[in-house]
């Protein structure tokens, strides 16, 4: 078995610590670098609640990648730094697997350009929970028959971007599936600005940020005399780990930029 060497960016955060634990537990993967803005040089395994793993938690991504030469960089950092991290990884011959949200359409075009220039693939997924991916796929199918939908996403209070990447990706998939649809226009009276949420080509998106939440989303469809709700809940960050491990292994044989975990699932 060929060992895949992995670097984790954002290794001291809630998701990063979970990723460190998952990588260290997975046969065939080896943690070779751990980077975080708050790195203090301590052992990344201890920060993640494991025993020592011999990998220091450092702050300089480029230096860590140059020194350890991993095959893959897993990024769970911030919308403010993720593009720089992806570009850095490509420039040093490392394949990015990215769960950081806040990446826009124009950002994806930049990433595709860097990927082509480097001759390396990447996997970018708004959500690595396999159940969440199935929720998005089921919602896209439902939209063929119930085109009127609204999306409510709920996350912990420290999530920076809104709406979530999952909500945006879900709306994109619904729009691709339902085709041309014109909702009957009503002159709305929004008594408090933003009460109806954001709008993406006729789909309303609502964001909730509260302590105690992890990651949750429901898509509500309305039709003549009926409604349909498709919901997914991540109660623990461990829910994302099987999808992340799948992406790390898959990116070794991919080409170009894969956007969305559904593209790695066998749904035939």
User: In the chain, which segments carry CATH 3.30.360.10?
Assistant: 130-234
Q: Are 55 and 36 in contact (CB under 8 A)?
A: no
Q: Which of 5, 110, 159, 249 is catalytic?
A: 159
Look up 206 and say whether it is catalytic.
Answer: no
Q: Which of 155, 169, 206, 216 is catalytic?
A: 155
Q: Specify the pLDDT at position 41.
A: 92
Q: Are 8 and 34 in contact (CB under 8 A)?
A: yes
Q: What is the mean pLDDT of residues 212-217?
A: 95
Q: What is the mean pLDDT of residues 227-251?
A: 96
**Helices 105-118 and 82-91, axial angle in degrees (round to 10):** 10
* Chain segment 80-135, per-residue pLDDT in tens: 999 999 999 999 999 999 999 888 889 999 999 999 999 999 999 988 999 999 99
Query: What is the spatial distance between Cα 199 and Cα 201, in angstroms, rounded to a whole number?
Result: 6
Write down the CATH number for the domain with range 130-234: 3.30.360.10
Look up 5 and say whether it is catalytic.
Answer: no
Helices (H), the chain: 14-25, 44-47, 61-68, 82-91, 105-118, 130-142, 165-178, 241-251
- 82-113: buried (b, 16+ CB within 10 Å) or exposed (e) per residue? bbebbbbbbebebbbbbbbbbbeeeeeeebee
Record the tokens describing residue 143, joined without a space. 């939209």
Residue 1 has pLDDT above 80, yes or no: no
Residue 184 has pLDDT above 70, yes or no: no
User: In the chain, which segments carry CATH 3.40.50.720?
Assistant: 4-124+237-264
In CATH, the architecture of 4-124+237-264 is 3-Layer(aba) Sandwich (3.40)
């Amino acid at each position: 078995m060929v060992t895949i060497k992995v670097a984790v960016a954002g290794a001291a955060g809630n998701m990063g610590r979970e990723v460190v634990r998952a990588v260290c537990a997975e046969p065939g993967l080896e943690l070779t670098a751990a980077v975080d803005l708050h790195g203090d040089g301590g052992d990344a395994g201890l920060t993640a609640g494991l025993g020592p793993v011999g990998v220091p938690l450092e702050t300089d991504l480029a230096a860590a990648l140059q020194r350890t030469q991993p095959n893959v960089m897993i990024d769970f950092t911030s919308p403010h730094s993720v593009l720089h991290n992806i570009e850095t990884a490509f420039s040093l011959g490392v394949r990015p697997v990215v769960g950081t949200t806040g990446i826009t359409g124009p950002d994806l075009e930049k990433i595709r350009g860097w990927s082509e220039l480097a001759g390396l693939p990447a996997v970018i997924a708004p959500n690595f929970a396999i159940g969440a991916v199935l929720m998005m796929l089921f919602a896209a199918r439902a939209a063929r028959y119930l085109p009127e939908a609204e999306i409510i996403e709920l996350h912990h209070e420290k999530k920076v971007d809104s709406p979530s990447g999952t909500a945006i990706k879900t709306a994109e998939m619904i729009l691709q599936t339902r085709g041309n649809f014109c909702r009957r226009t009503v002159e709305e009276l929004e008594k408090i600005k933003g009460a109806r949420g954001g709008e993406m080509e006729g789909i309303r998106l609502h964001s909730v940020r509260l302590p105690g939440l992890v990651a949750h989303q429901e898509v509500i469809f309305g039709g003549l005399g009926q409604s349909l709700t498709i919901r997914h809940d991540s109660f623990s960050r461990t829910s994302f780990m099987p999808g992340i491990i799948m992406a790390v292994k898959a990116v070794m044989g991919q080409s170009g930029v894969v956007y969305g975990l559904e593209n790695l699932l066998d749904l035939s």
